[in-house]
Each structure stands twice: as C-alpha cells, then as structure tokens.
Structure 1
Amino acid sequence: MCPFMQFIEGGRKYQCGFCNCVNDVLPFYFQHLDHIGRRVDHYERPELSLGSYEYVATLDYCRNNKPPQPPAYIFMIDVSYSNIKSGLVKLICDELKTVLDRLPREEHEEASAIRVGFVTYNKVLHFFNVKSNLAQPQMMVVSDVGEVFVPLLDGFLVNFQESRSVINNLLDQIPEMFADTNESETVFAPVIQAGMEALKAAECAGKLFIFHSSLPTAEAPGKLKNRDDKKLVNTDKEKTLFQPQTNFYETLAKDCVASGCCVDLFLFPNQYVDVASMGIVTMHTGGTLYKYNNFQVHSDNHQFLNDLKKDIEKRIGFDAIMRVRTSTGFRATDFFGAIYMNNTTDVEMAVVDCDKAVTVEFKHDDKLNEDSGALIQCAVLYTSLGGERRLRIHNIGLNCSSQLADVYKSCETDALTNFFAKSAFKAILSQPLKTVREILVNQTARMLACYRKNCASPSAVSQLILPDAMKVLPVYMNSLLKNCVLVGRPEIPMDERAFHRQAILAMDVADSQLFFYPQLLPVHTTDAKSDAFPSAVRCSEERLSEGGVFFLADGLHMFLWLGVNAPPELIQGIFNVPSFAHISTESTQLPELENPYSKKIRSIIDQIQSKRPYTMKLVIVKQREQPEMVFRQFLMEDKSVYGGVSYVDFLCCVNKEICQLLN
C-alpha cells in the first residue's frame, strides 16, 4: 500500500497524506500505484527517482526558527608598514573596486544579495561606515583589542551597488590614509573576533577575507611567538610544530563555526608566521588559506589577483551541517576535510564550496547483504547565496561481494591515496613522523600481501604481484612518503609543511592525485597547429631530454623546464628571444605572442589551471642552472634530494615486507 495512506472515518476510508484525496481502499490503491506496484508519480518526486535532489528547508531547520538573512563578505586589510611600502595595500584596494562587481548571485537574480563591509588594522582596528547617503566614508577606531567590539551596525554591511561611490572613495583613500604609518606590529585573532561579532550583530552568516603578512606579535588575544625550532625536527616533539601553539585559535574556530563565519586567509609572509596556528581557523571554518612567499607586487600580482577573483566569485553555501547515514552493517567512523566536528555525527562547515571535499571512512561491523548492497545517504543543510535555507541530499547504492577478488578489482586507487594522505596528516598531530611513515609502508604491504595470498595465481615468492586496479598504488604511496609534510628536514620551512598539510586535508580526489604525482608534459612533441593535448610522461629525469621543453604542474606549483638544446624556433615562438641563453627566468608569465607555439603552450597552461582551486605561479627553469634543483623534487619516480627513495627502491622495500608477511 501507499505509505502516505492513513485511516479516517473509523477505518472505512483512507486519506492520502501526499495529495489529501479520500478514497475507498481499492480505488485509492489502483489510483496511486502502477501495474508493478510503484507510485504513479514516481518520476515527479525527486526523492523517489533521483540520486541527488534539493529541498527548500522549513523554518524548523533555520536558526531561531527565522528565515536567514542574506550572507555578507567582510574585507579586512593589514595596513602595517611593510604592506603599505610594498604596494600590496594599493593592489588589494584597486582590485576590489573591479571584482566586487562580480559577487556571486542566485541564478534567477539580476544582482547579488551579498552585503559587504571593510576593516583595516595594524595594532588597532578601523571600521568604515560606507552607507550610500554619505558623501565620504567615515572611520571608527577600536583600540581595545582585548575586548573587541563592533562600533557601528548601520552603514557597515551594505549593498555594493547602492554604496558603490562611497566604497570606491574608501578604496582610493586607504593607501593614502596609512601612507606615513610606521606601525610594524599587528594583531590577528581580534580581527577575526571583530568580523564574527559583526556577522552575529547582523544576524547573518558570511565570510571574512583577511589579507595579512606577519606573525601577530602585538599585545592582544592570540599573540604568537616565533617557535620555528629546527632542533625539534625528526624528534618526538616535532608533532608540536604542526599543532597550534595556543588553544585560543581552536576555541576561536569553534565560535566562528557556531556563528556561520568562514575565514579565508591571504598570507604574504617574508619570514615565519606560524601557519599551523593562524591557519587552524581557516581550516575548521571551511575556508581557504592562500600563501605567497616573499610576495613582489610587480611579478606575483597575477597569481594573487586570480586567486582573489576566483575566491570572491565562487558559488558557496553558508552555515552548513552535514550528516552521513548508512544502511545496516556498516557506519561512518571518521571524517577528514576543512570541517569542524563537535560530536561524532555532525560535520559542521561555516562555508562549503566547490573546491573542498570531505573524505569519510566507513567500517563494517556486520555482514552486508549482497542482494540489497550498501546504501549511503549524505544530507547537507545550508544557506544559499540569496539567504534561503536549503537541504541537499545525495544517495548512493554500492554493490557488495563476498569474493575478495571483486574488492581488489573495483578498487579506486586515487581515492585510496586521498584517504591515506589525510589519515597520515591527521595522525602526525599525535604520533612521531617516523611511526606514521612506517604505518603507511606496512599498510601498503599488507594490502598487496593479502591479494597475493588470496587472489593471485601461484608464482615465485620473490615476484611482486600487483592487482590491475592497484598497479599505481606503490608510486602514489612513495610520492606521499616523499611529501614535505612527512619528510623531516630542517631545510624545509615549517610554514610550508603546515600549509601543504592543511591544503591536502581539504583536497578532492582529482586534486590530491595530481598533487602527489604531477603532470609532466613534453611540449616540444606536440603539434602547435593541433588541438590535441600532449600525452603525459612519467615523472623521472630519464624522460627529460636536452632538446626538449617540458611543462610540469601539481596543482600548487608549475614549471616550464627547458633543455640546453631546445629548438631555437620553439624558444623564439614561446619567449620571443633568439636562443636558450637569452631566456630570462625572472618572469612568472609567458608573453602573449601571436604564433602557434605561444598560443599552444598558453592554452595548455590555461586548461590545466582552470581545473585547479589554486592559481599556480609559473617558474621557468633552465637545464643545469641552480633552480633546477627545486624542479627535480617534483620528479616523483627519482630519489629525492631530501632523502626519499626512488620508485624502484620503494618497490623493492615493499616486496621485502610482503615476503616477510607471507612467511
């Protein structure tokens, strides 16, 4: 019978809870079910016919049972001495005048509903009133950073289109306003607190865009000290360098999530800034951390401005909470990503966007039914760009098998690598790196030994046998082990390791696959007049050639490697210079030339770049010159300069472990 039927009138008739019609039993039954017992409105009901669908949520799913307000973006700019003198503040202000026209909006709306606000800061905070009826913006200073508060409500968060002229005036004035500053110390945590309080006062969710450069050493909550101690590397205390140095930022992250406040952090460090502490709020609120080392306005602006544009324009959901449900026999036991969890079931994200992924670990503790399979439902409750509370549902059914060979045959190696990376990067907060590396090698050997023992045909004991679906697993695992996060070397800056760790914890499978095994493309072999993409080659020095030009990208870094005997016509076409000796490695962009070679390589770069969340800075590398050492770290099948073994040596190591397990 239809699940919506209910008895009425003492049991003589039925009422449908879906359409409210009243019928006798038989007419009702035949009216609502087809000849195979399925509801006739099956294809009209998304929850019956689609794997993914979305509802507008009722007031029961809204904060305080009230419809949510449209979200807000608050731009918070560090106006300390170095940022003013470098021209960074002017660059940010000039770009905001343009990019705010492209604030994201609902598909059916002509304009964005997102409101904007502006704060500048050094040791104190400056709030700006940009109400549309003002002739000039008004500044209010909050000097009590110990008990930070929002000095104005009306006129702080405004509609950009309505207040355009006042905002543009403000953005023109900010670089001049602080032109003579000598203040080099900054606060950081009070900046986040102020933004969160502003969103709470406006009763809306939102995002803070923070542009910051230095370690926050000014006297204020969240003050940090330089703890970049190289002596702790490769000791049991190394894990403390990945942990925030104070609990303050963990608590702040929790408060931000509870308020629907996301933090996106644009960092421009010239020295140690303690990314492990400052980035924790970004990671737990579903935000993104961008890091530009030794930023130079004239050469690095392309990378930063592209990141800023993409970040402001991307479609996102606010104040989100996710639950994962399963059918009987298995359950979700762990979650990894740019998330916060206050309990074991609710995944909380102040913001969820298209560039983030949540990796979920499932464990089965009962027998799974091969006929019905394993069912998973993921439900996300969030607020849309227009301020509408919505519920998005994803359902998936997975096949189950009692045959171990079927499990290996359907294994997703890329997803497995993503999971192992996130598990390892979570584990280093509590275990020595040496232990984590040993666990990864042991798990790899155990998986392959199990296949060898239970699924493979008999063969010589010393022979390494890999399942077809897992042939690339060893190369991925070796790449993971050679990643700077897991390689304890004093030469690698701690901030860089912490940044990579946080970036990977939020990556989806495609991005982590590219990150651990970069794409190496022989540009010189491709036909410049063809639309075909060059086929990737293995990441090894033996694939390079003195007469070649190779492009390498891993999602965070991008290189163009040039052999000493690269064809002059190719060099002329790409760089507009006559020979290898004339190529400058200072540039971070290729010149836009009207010839097939230039157009081809720029289209390759654009195509790879368009699929990645971060804008990659192009580094031009000439064979046999010093920067080539950096490039070689990304040739994953070779021995690393930091001590990681080659792919061949890793295979021997794993095979030795497998033999020991089988014996």
Structure 2
Amino acid sequence: MAYSGQYGLYGNPTNVERNNERHNSLFYTGETPDAQLASQVNAQMNLGPQIPSYPQEKRRTRRHRDAHAYDMSLMEPEANFLPPMTPSTPLAPAAQPLDTTGVSSEAPYEDTNLLDPKSLPSVPDARFQDQLTYKNYTFNSMDKTNPPLSTTDFVGYEQNNSSSKFVQLTTYAIPSSNDVLNSSGLPLGMIVQPFAEIRPDEAPVPVVDYTTSSPPRCKKCRGYINPFVQFTLSHSGWTCNLCGAENSLSNDVYNPMLFTNQQNGFSSLPELNVGTVDFEVGKDYWAVEESPQPAQYVFVIDVSYEATSKGIPKIAAEAIRDILYGPTPLHPSVRVTIIAFDRNVHFFYLTPNLEQPRMISVADLEHPFVPFKNGLSVDPMESRTVIERLLDTLPSIVEDIKVPEPAVGNAMECIKDLLKETGGKACLFVSALPTMGLGRLRYREDQRLYGNPEEKNLWNTQEKWYSLLADELVTSGISIDIFFTPTAYVDVATVGSVATLTGGQVWYYGNFVPERDGPRLKQDLYRSVTREQGFRVMLKTRCSNGLRVSRYLGNFLQRTPRDIEFGGLDADKSIGMLFNLEGKLNNALDAHFQTAVLYTTPRGARRVRVINYCCAVTSRNYDTISLACVEPLVGIFSKIASMNMATESLKAIATKLVEGIVKLLSCYRKVASSRLTPGQLVLPKHLILLPIYMLSVLKSSAFRSGTIHSDVRVSQFRFIRASPLSQLMLNLYPHIYALHSLQPNECIPNADDPGCTPVEYPLCVRASRKFIEDGGAFLIVTGQKVFLWLHQRTSPLLLQDLFGVSQLEQVDSMKACELPEMDNLLSIQVRNLLSALKLQYPHISVQPQVVRQGIDGSEGEVFSTLVEDPSREGVGYIEFLTMIHETLHSQGFK
C-alpha cells in the first residue's frame, strides 16, 4: 500500500473522518429513551448512543438561595440504555466471565450476530469532547456540573469550593442516611491531591500570614475558618459550617472595619473567598522546638558492580548536574549532600574552599555512622566548583569497584542520621538485592507461588527493620524516593516499603538498559526534586456532623485513626478517603468537607493548606447515583483493591471489584425500572465509562492473573495507591494517537483561537487491535511512560519524515527516541504534540520508547495497553459487559 496524502491512510477515509462519523452517531444528544432505543441495530446487545454530550455553552441551573451545591429539585434520573438482553437473545461465543471473578455463567448460545465494537461507549470520544468543551470555557468550582475529566487540560476558577484539581468526590449529592447510601450502591469517598499543579494562567494558592497569631479555628471540632462559615449579626463571632459550634471573633485577627462594608472587606480575605488557602503559621505549629529549616536533599548513588556495569553513576551525575545547575535552579536556601555506597558508604567532603572533593568511607556493616557533618551538606552554588568536579570524576572513581552486594540498609541508616535534625528528601538508587549489612534480605521470588493463595506473601515485607526505620524517618520529616534499576529480583515489596511509608515514590525500571531508560531516569529524578512538595506533613479531614472518615487510602504512615503522616508529600501524590454516616443528615443543609495539611515548605516556612468542599444533601438515591463521577469512583475502587493486596488473593480482589460494579448497576436499575424493558442493561449518564475503566483495573499489571514478576506487581499497586487521578486514568486507559492520520490543522498552534491548550489535540483511537491499522505509527501515552509503536509495514515516507531513515530496521529501539528536527509538517506536528503533552503531564517522560512490530521484545508491554481486547488474563470489553448483564440477570434483576 502506498503512503499518500497529508498523512491520510492509504486512500481510505482518514481516522478523523471515521471518528467524526462515529461521534455524530454515538454521542448523547438529549434524545428521549424511546428515540435512543429506536436506533438499535439487529444485534444481541446493541449499545446505541450513550456517551453524554458536553455542550460548548453550559446550561446554568437556578440555585437555592442558601445552597452552595446542586439544586436537587431540578434533578431527575438520567440513564443511558443498553438494548434488551434476555436468555433468548443470542450471545457472542466469547461471552465468558472473567476467570478471576468466581462468577458462573451458562454455556454460550449459538452466535448469530456479533456486536459492533464501534458502538460501545468510547473513552477517547468522551475525552476528546470534554477537551473541546473546556478549550474556551473556564470551569468555576461552584458550577452545578460534574468537573472536567482529569485528562482534560482546562482553566479553573476557584470560588468557595476548592478546584477539582485538588479534590473530587465519588458523588456530588451526599446521601442523608445509611439507607440511601446502601440503596445507591456507591462508596462515599473523596480523593484529595493537596499539592496538585495548576496552570500558570490560574490564580496561585493564596498565602495568608498568621505567623504572629493563629488562624481562626473552631473551638469544638478545630476546623479552620473558610468561605462557608456564617457570621453572627453583630459580627462578633462565627458559626462553624462543620459542627455548628459558635465561635468568637478576635479583633486581633479581623479588624471590625471589615464589617462596615462586607462586600469589599471580605473580598480582600482569601480565606473567606476561595476554597484552597495556605495559612503561614508560627511556633504553635512547629514539629519540634527548633524553628523549621530549609530542605536538604541527599543523593545516594549505588556504585556496586551491578550499578556501575549499567552506567548508573554517570547517569546519576548528569541528572544531579541538571537539577543543581539547570535552567530552573533550586531555592537559594536549599542544601545538598552526595554520598555513594557499595558494601561501604562513601561520604564526600564538598566545602567551597577545596580544589578537589575528598572521600571518606565507612566500612562498618553492623554500625554505620556519619563520620562528620560540616562539609557534607553544602550550598550548591557556593560549592559549585567542587561539586561539578565530583560529578565529572565520579564515574571514573568507581569504575573499578567490583563489589556485588550493595549495603542498602546501611545507606538508609546514614540518610536518617544526616537529616534527622532538619528533615528533607533523599533520592536513593538501588540496582541489586541487599544481601549484607543492616536489613539484609534473602532471595524469595518463586514462580511456583504465582496464582496460589501464598503469592500474597511475596507482596509483603520480609524484614521488619525497614518498617521500623520508616517510622523514625517520618518522625524526622524525611522522605525517600527509590530508583530501582535491576536486571533481577530486588524485593521491591521490602526495600520499597520505606518509600511507601515515608510518602516517597518507587520508580521501577525493569531490565534497565542505559541508552533506552537512562534519559527517562534523568527526567524522573529531576521531577522528584523540583516538583512542589512539603516535609514533616500531617493530614486530617474533617466533615459535617453525621459524617466521619472511616478509612484513608494511599501511601503514608498512620499512627492514630484520625491523622496520617508523611515524611514528605509532593504534587504527584493523592490520598483517598472513605466516609461513614453516623446519623441522619439534614436535607436543608449542605455537607461540608475540609482537609487540612500541615507541612514545611522547601524554604523552611511552616504552613497549613486548607482544602474546602461542600455538596448538597439528598434523601433520593437516584440523586446520589445520577451525580456520581466516574473517575474518582474508579480511583476509590482501585485504591481499596491495592490497599487489600497484603491480605487478599487476586481472585478475591477481582471478585470484589466486579461485585462493586454489579451492585451499583443493580441499584440504579431499580431507580430506572419504570422506563426499562426486561433484560435491558442500563448505565447512569455520568458512569457510562465505568465498565471499561473497571475492566482496565482488572487487566492492569497490579491485579491481573498470570506470571507477573512480584517486583513489577508491587511497584504497580503501590503506584495505584498514591497516584493522582490524571496519572491513574492514563495508566488504565492510555491516549493512543495515530500519527499517520494527523490532519494539517492538528498539533499546530491556532493563533486565531488559542483556547487553553497549546495545540489542537487529535482524536485518539481506542485501545483495541480493531482500531490499529496496518502500516500505522501510534504514540501511546500511559501514566508512566510513552511508547512509539511502528507497524512492520509503516510507510518509508513516514519513517523518512520522522526519523530521517527509510527502513524500519534503521530505527534504533534500544535508545530513547529523540526525534530530529526535520523540516516537514509531520515532524513539526509530532514534536509539538510531545511538547504539549509534557506541559500537561509534567510527571511523564515524553521521550518515547520505540517498539517495532515483530522485532522488539517489548511489544507485549504495548499490547497490554489494548485493554478492550480479550487476552489470556481477561476477557474483552464486549464480553465483560455481557458478563455483567448475565450476573445481574442471575441475581434476579430482570
């Protein structure tokens, strides 16, 4: 086939033309259910038009005078109807339940007509339309609509509620009682991302100075003053919106003159106008008696044989140079330390008066210590000359080291001693299993345990020493990010638990190849240090009377039921929480949630970040379901599953995930039963994508069955625990861009209509082989890495335009892909697309890994992202929907 046109595919209609046709025929247009059902095709389960439309101009509904959220009187149940499926309806032959669910089904009926996969609810269509909606629309945090999708690049305007970038709830209509909650089938939960990054054109989080006093707090529940409190008529006090207690108002905090003109006076107070605010606080909030200190960063480099053979010292040295002396320097008050380790721990003396760095090694395996303090932690600018000389010579200094066993525990013990007085962050490289020194481990990986109940033992720590160390690190305000670069088993479950408990992060590069993975490691290390973060962190969520936090979900240390602690917390972490109803809520009042995060900034200021949100309360279960939000719901389901990995088998976890979606749909079926025909499958409007996302959770490397290395599985379910929604949803269902079908206007800045996105994003294709055309080139963006998949018959013209080569074999897949600056439209478009993705997802290294069909072994990793297809570990999208329907039918929901 010839490569023709402006990257249209082989004379056939382009993807955009085909997708526009699908968009026009599939998206929800406000038709009545009868009109939707009239469009059914002759199939056993035609799904018809279900995707909700997102109009360019949002309809604004009238608000109750005293309400701050949805007007429940205007709500009616909205549904997307899936055509009747009865036992007399032929089923597709592949309609089998997931092996891991334990759900039984009858033998399939004889096939007469297969369901067209194009008619299924489409994640790419929903994301594309949501991005179009918010391209030129500012989302107000008090809008009575569900927030934009986490994968949408949008401008938010924060009003009394915090932005959806900081907080999202599973439903925006809080049930008034346990009966209403149980009849909805929803978990009542919330996901908070305290340090979420906001766009440069959005207002920053305001900082209010309370260093000489204390921010006003409720004397009963200790909640902070916020936009939803009510002031007394005399303006001498305020009523807490969380517990209803009356509080006095100190004249030292608020000048009485503010109340002479409330409209102008209150507008000058951020804490009474925006949902997210930072209170800079004084001595009463210090973690220790000494004043908070600026952050210290410690780079701990593995120089054992396994690490040096893969060039880790050189890669680390280059990355540290970029961090310290790159275009975005660290805060002037920050100090850094560089140490290395094999079986010994090597300390470098870096005072600015030296011509060459000095190294002192500690060889004591049982009692490691820091030999000196002065000269280890230095100002990177004052000591720039000696630090750069160390970074230049470090690879040659350690190249002759042949020590095979790294003493990782000894390095961690030294990190604790270095930072225990000031707190800070350590970036630790680990290349091999620590088999000597403190916390030494044994090899316990056993493939015979895969699929057995005993497999979960591989996911738990084998040595309590690491947990005890993590407790001490959190007390001292220290977090550790660990960069694993192994070629064999390293026991991520045990060694990585230190990062998990301190609020750090595990970065796992399986089968590390320096040329391919080195650039990604550099970018990840840069991100680890430069992203927004805080230290000595304590988090607590308060809510209205009758509500209580029952469980926190994430990576943290929890010593008490109500508070969680972190050595450090950063912009790429989220915390989930589940709520219990302890009484009956008043429908006339809103439900309020307030998350307070006490932390120390990298420059040494002590602050409290307060995140406020309120929702309406309802006594109707269909309000709760109709205003449910799919992404935080999937986030809560997946975080609960990942938290249970230590105690439950994969089969039990998968069963509970399927039971969760079945319970929700069965509850909603009862709500919409008056408009249904027997055997019809129905999905709530805002949850139309729930089945495909839940299938993606089940097929992720964290939860799917099969022979998945325990290090890979552990790193993935710990990633799910802590990842924010934008990363999680991309990891579950990636963006897949068909580069060969880019149109001339796509991935090009539009000067006439710039909107909020730097380029015009193309419509992605669906994660299925049915939508992967022969001869194509596809950019696959997951929440952790990017692939560039090239079909074996990719056009030589496309290869020439992108890489400057004419044959697929000439593209080097063992190196990180750096596209040359070619003077042609396709090269400009793809480089623009990568740049735009880097702006929107700064946590992702956008240097793609090239994967060539039929040539590269990593092709299996690419195909695992095609979650709509059947695989050895799970069924496909159509079969999953069929299985859900059969389960509902078998339980009597007819």
Q: Are positions 1:115 and 2:332 aligned together? A: no
Q: TM-score normalized by structure 1?
A: 0.91
Cα gap change, 1:20 to 1:235, in 2 (>3 Å): closer
1:17 Cα deviation after fit: 2.8
Amino acid at match of 1:497: R
1:103 Cα deviation after fit: 9.6
Deviations 1:338-362 (A, max 9, x none): 3211111112111111111111112
Q: Are positions 1:569 and 2:797 aligned together? A: yes
Is the Cα–Cα contact under 8 Å of residues 515 and 816 in structure 2 kept in the other structure? no
1:466 Cα deviation after fit: 0.8
Is the Cα–Cα contact under 8 Å of residues 351 and 378 in structure 2 kept in the other structure? yes
Paired with 2:369 and 2:856, the residues of 1 have a C-alpha distance of 51
Paired with 2:577 and 2:473, the residues of 1 have a C-alpha distance of 23
Paired with 2:576 and 2:379, the residues of 1 have a C-alpha distance of 37
Tell me which residue corresponds to 1:155. 375
Cα gap change, 1:389 to 1:16, in 2 (>3 Å): closer
Q: Are positions 1:209 and 2:427 aligned together? A: yes
Paired with 2:258 and 2:831, the residues of 1 have a C-alpha distance of 59
Cα gap change, 1:21 to 1:348, in 2 (>3 Å): closer
Amino acid at match of 1:270: T
Cα gap change, 1:228 to 1:612, in 2 (>3 Å): farther
Tell me which residue corresponds to 2:648. 431
Paired with 2:850 and 2:586, the residues of 1 have a C-alpha distance of 56
Of 853, 867, 871, the match for 1:636: 867
Q: Are positions 1:184 and 2:404 aligned together? A: yes
Paired with 1:171 and 1:152, the residues of 2 have a C-alpha distance of 21
Of 400, 411, 414, the match for 2:631: 414
Is the Cα–Cα contact under 8 Å of residues 729 and 783 in structure 2 kept in the other structure? no
Q: Are positions 1:517 and 2:733 aligned together? A: yes
Of 793, 818, 828, the match for 1:599: 828
Of 461, 469, 474, the match for 1:252: 469
Is the Cα–Cα contact under 8 Å of residues 244 and 280 in structure 1 kept in the other structure? yes
Q: Are positions 1:134 and 2:351 aligned together? A: no
Of 563-572 and 341-350, more deviation after overlay is shown by 563-572
Aligned length: 637
Report matched runs for 1:46-61 at 5 Å: 46-61=270-285
Q: Are positions 1:538 and 2:766 aligned together? A: yes
Paired with 1:523 and 1:176, the residues of 2 have a C-alpha distance of 42
Paired with 2:867 and 2:367, the residues of 1 have a C-alpha distance of 50
Tell me which residue corresponds to 2:386. 166
1:19 Cα deviation after fit: 4.6
Paired with 1:131 and 1:581, the residues of 2 have a C-alpha distance of 50
Where in structure 1 are there 5+ consecutive unaligned residues? 7-14, 23-27
Tell me which residue corresponds to 2:251. 18
Report matched runs for 1:285-434 at 5 Å: 285-434=502-651
Cα gap change, 1:40 to 1:616, in 2 (>3 Å): closer
1:447 Cα deviation after fit: 0.2
Deviations 1:103-134 (A, max 9, x none): 9778xxxx521111121111111112212223
Deviations 1:37-64 (A, max 9, x none): x587322333322212112111011133
Is the Cα–Cα contact under 8 Å of residues 103 and 112 in structure 1 kept in the other structure? no
Deviations 1:429-464 (A, max 9, x none): 111111111111111100000000123434233221
Paired with 1:211 and 1:588, the residues of 2 have a C-alpha distance of 20
Give secondary structure in 2 for the equivalent of 1:41: helix
Q: TM-score normalized by structure 2?
A: 0.68
1:612 Cα deviation after fit: 4.7
Is the Cα–Cα contact under 8 Å of residues 484 and 507 in structure 2 kept in the other structure? yes
Of 269, 289, 299, the match for 1:45: 269
Tell me which residue corresponds to 2:721. 505
Is the Cα–Cα contact under 8 Å of residues 818 and 847 in structure 2 kept in the other structure? no
Is the Cα–Cα contact under 8 Å of residues 449 and 662 in structure 1 kept in the other structure? no
**RMSD of aligned Cα (Å):** 2.4
Paired with 2:860 and 2:705, the residues of 1 have a C-alpha distance of 18
Of 141-150 and 226-235, more deviation after overlay is shown by 141-150
Cα gap change, 1:89 to 1:389, in 2 (>3 Å): same
Cα gap change, 1:103 to 1:283, in 2 (>3 Å): farther
Higher helix share: 1
Tell me which residue corresponds to 2:451. 234
Give secondary structure in 1 for the equivalent of 2:674: coil
Tell me which residue corresponds to 1:197. 417
Of 48-57 and 375-384, more deviation after overlay is shown by 48-57
Give secondary structure in 2 for the equivalent of 1:399: strand
Is the Cα–Cα contact under 8 Å of residues 42 and 49 in structure 1 kept in the other structure? yes
Where in structure 2 are there 5+ consecutive unaligned residues? 1-232, 239-247, 749-759
Deviations 1:643-663 (A, max 9, x none): 211111111111112123335
Cα gap change, 1:85 to 1:637, in 2 (>3 Å): closer
Give secondary structure in 2 for the equivalent of 1:74: strand
Give secondary structure in 2 for the equivalent of 1:555: coil
Paired with 1:566 and 1:152, the residues of 2 have a C-alpha distance of 60
Give secondary structure in 2 for the equivalent of 1:198: helix
Paired with 2:761 and 2:817, the residues of 1 have a C-alpha distance of 20
Paired with 1:504 and 1:162, the residues of 2 have a C-alpha distance of 40
1:87 Cα deviation after fit: 2.5
Tell me which residue corresponds to 1:613. 843
Is the Cα–Cα contact under 8 Å of residues 283 and 338 in structure 1 kept in the other structure? yes
Tell me which residue corresponds to 2:743. 527
Paired with 1:581 and 1:207, the residues of 2 have a C-alpha distance of 43
Answer 1 or 2: higher relative contact order, Cα 8 Å, separation at least 6. Answer: 2
Paired with 1:520 and 1:493, the residues of 2 have a C-alpha distance of 26
Amino acid at match of 1:563: H
Of 113-122 and 576-585, more deviation after overlay is shown by 576-585
Tell me which residue corresponds to 1:649. 879
Is the Cα–Cα contact under 8 Å of residues 555 and 612 in structure 1 kept in the other structure? no
Paired with 2:794 and 2:237, the residues of 1 have a C-alpha distance of 77
